[in-house]
Amino acid sequence: MTRTVAHFGALHAVVANAGFAPADHPRTIADGDPELWAPMVLTNVLGPALLANAALPHLETTGGRLVLVGSVAGLKNSPANLYSATKWAVTGMAENLRMYATSRGVGVTLVNPGMTDTAFWQGGVPPFALSPGPVAEAICFALGQPAGVDLNTLTIRPVGQPA
């Protein structure tokens, strides 16, 4: 007797979109509170790595896509800013994962939003900040690429953001 097993709910796309800065942000490493740093580093760096670790075998099966949400802070240096350093780590991780995953049929995209109107700003949102909608559209654009296309990096900033 032959038995057929249906595979419902296969994983085709994963987005790592967690990240935050501690309450003392934007203080520097020189004057910030080290007691507040570990949760940020674990969320911003280890979180995407753990998600990739769990998802990659499934994405290989489906030829799926992995999107990591970084930040413009991971492209532009900010003096002694640990949040920025965590986003630099995401930038490096995205390229490292792309190099690994591309031969396995998995696309990897890094999306770097600039200043976006989210709770990140803790009440002090810059007046020119993006609404979250365009960032979500950029992520959807990356996920919607046709088979065989690996869109590697998207940076989206509001007009008016100098860095």
Q: Which residues, listed in sequence order, are joined to residue 112 by a DSSP beta bridge?
A: 155
Q: Which residue from 132, 104, 144, 135 is spatially nearest to 13, judged by alpha carbons?
A: 144
How far is it, in rounded angstroms, from Cα 114 to Cα 72?
5
Backbone angles phi, psi at 156, to 5 degrees: -130, 120
Active site residues: 83
